[in-house]
Structure 1
Amino acid sequence: MKVEKLFTFHRVSEERKVPLATLSFQGHAMYWSTALERERRLHNDPPIQYWNDLRSTLKRRHIPSYYGRELMNKLQRIQQKDMTIEQYRQQMKLYMMRACIKKEESTTVARSNYLKRTK
Structure 2
Amino acid sequence: MNGIEISPHGYTEAFGPNVSRILCQGTLVVNGRIPSQVRKELSAAVKANVLGRLRKDGLKPEIYFHPSHKNGAIDRQKREAAYAISCISKVVATPAHVREGIEQNGGDVLDYALNEMKRV
When normalised by structure 2's length, the TM-score is: 0.23
Higher helix share: 1
Bigger radius of gyration: 2
When normalised by structure 1's length, the TM-score is: 0.23
